[in-house]
Amino acid sequence: MSATARIERPAAAAQTSTVLGRVVAQSSGRTVIASRLSAGLRMGDRLVFTGAPQVLAVVTGFEAPMTNPELSDDDVLFVEVRTVGLLRADGSAGRGAAQPSMGAECFRLPTSVETLDAGMGRAVVVGERGPGAPVPIDASAILGRTMTVTGDAGTGKSASLAVLMRALLVDGFPARLVMIDPEGTFSRSFGRAASVVDVSSSGLPISILTLEELETLLAKVGGPLSANERYALSRTRRALDGNVSVHELAKSALTLSDETTELRTDFLTLASRFEALIDDDRFAFICGKTASSMRPEHLLQTYFRLPDGQPPASVIQLHRLAPSLQAFVASVFARLGLAVSEQSGGAVPVVMFVDQTSLSTIDLSQVSSEAFGLVVAGQGLQPTADGLALLHRVRGAEAVNRLVPDADPLASEIRDVLPTLDGGEAILIDPDYPWPVRFRYTTLPEQAIPQKQRSACAQEPAAILETISASLLSTPTFS
């Protein structure tokens, strides 16, 4: 069979009342219809069956034709179909489990269903299947879910993130749009619609970290904490209220060490860890004066554009942080975004975009707030059961098989197509739509194409100062 025919949109067929066949056999999800050769059925054709509910199916195979004398020598085909969904009352296609009844008649799927956007709450176009055939995504379906964008390196994942975020901005989608940018690739992708914030200079106050995040941070300067150190950390943090600095946490640990004999060593070790953070240039963004003086309301304005929402989006850049800290900082911002949406009672929806899998510390299945959406791009990301997914080219049988589970009714077809996708192409998997859709996403303006930062300014701030200082102190010479 032709896998591409199953996934690509077939030529639009005019709505017709011509009966193409009737159900003559069923067993364990397998449905067989009897059709005439003159009906012109092909692999991948979409069908709708009579009945309540109306069942949608895809042609998956043919058996050898036989001559039936009662049909005046017209050839009869036994056609195998796979049911993939239901036709909703509003005329849109959706997922659902049902089988057509014996004797049910089938017709070609009406052209109106092929528009894809019927029944969508808020359709935003991200590309097209062909001239005049746009591919929309239901923007409202991004909230409360995790959307994954996956594929091999260099297949356009970052570009598709930019396309989606730009589409939401053009639509005026009522949410804070936040791009976590580990490599500094989105500096110019959204123009004046987004503020670009460098965490290394803007700072991140240690007071907003949870105990688990504090433990992760401290483990980077002395290895994992012992059980006693974790207890000492909890007491140290509880002893201080409100906005605190790393210096104050170190002092608090020292004070508590004088108040206990049994855990004195653990409090002293904890104080040493805080001091190690202060002395390590990698942590200047969290230990420096800017971070220490940042109030929560300033943090919300800087990174989430609250309360005014101007501009409506922000790009949070991590590329000047040490690579070993990027995943940690990205996970903190994802947690903050979720907190903003939940603590506002849903009044401030947040959609966070994360480029690259620097988010190994985030459990993608934990997105539960109806006012929060997470869009993550990276290699080898497994789509969540109820989330949208964009699949870019993936090569290698093992990688393809791991990405597309056998339970997916169209697993074999998707696996066949994934390695053949061109740059700029992707397969959209929408849990509310029966079929994967192969499409080419919208071409970005040249200035909006994501590009990695390659300037000298991408060095650590301390290294830049050292270079400048050395040049100022160098022995002058005549040119």
d(CA 378, CA 397): 18
Cα–Cα dist 318/475, whole Å: 36
The distance from CA 13 to its chain's CA centroid, rounded to whole angstroms, is 33
Side-by-side strand order, sheet with 389-391: 133-138, 123-130, 437-441, 425-429, 389-391, 146-150, 372-378, 350-355, 176-181, 313-317, 194-198
Q: Which of 410, 400, 392 is nearest to 153 (CA)?
A: 392
CB atoms within 10 A of CB 32: 17
User: Phi and psi for 51 in degrees, rounded to 5?
Assistant: 130, 180
Report which of 307, 320, 222, 228 is spatially closest to residue 272, judged by C-alpha positions.
222
Phi, psi of 364 (to 5 degrees): -65, -20
Distance from C-alpha of 150 to C-alpha of 172, rounded to nearest angstrom: 26
Find the helix or strand (DSSP H, E) in which 147 lies.
strand 146-150
Q: What is the pLDDT of residue 477?
A: 43
Fold classification of 3-115 is: Elongation Factor Tu (Ef-tu); domain 3 (2.40.30)
pLDDT at 1: 30
Grouped pLDDT means (10 residues each) for the chain, 479 residues: 34 58 85 89 85 86 62 73 81 77 89 57 86 84 88 91 95 93 92 95 94 95 94 93 91 93 94 96 94 91 89 94 91 90 88 73 62 89 82 86 69 82 89 81 91 52 51 45
Q: Which of 62, 71, 61, 57 is nearest to 104 (CA)?
A: 57
Could you tell me the pTM of the whole model? 0.78
Domain-wise residue ranges, the chain? 3-115, 135-200+295-448, 206-290
pLDDT of residue 5: 31
Provide the greatest CA pair distance for the chain: 105
**Phi and psi (nearest 5°) for 158?**
-65, -40
Residue by residue, DSSP assigns 169-230 as: HHHT-SSEEEEEETTS--TTSSGGGEEEEEHHHH---GGG--HHHHHHHHHTTTSSPPHHHH
Domain spanning 135-200+295-448, CATH class: alpha beta
Burial class (CB in 10 A: 0-12, 13-18, 19+), 390: buried
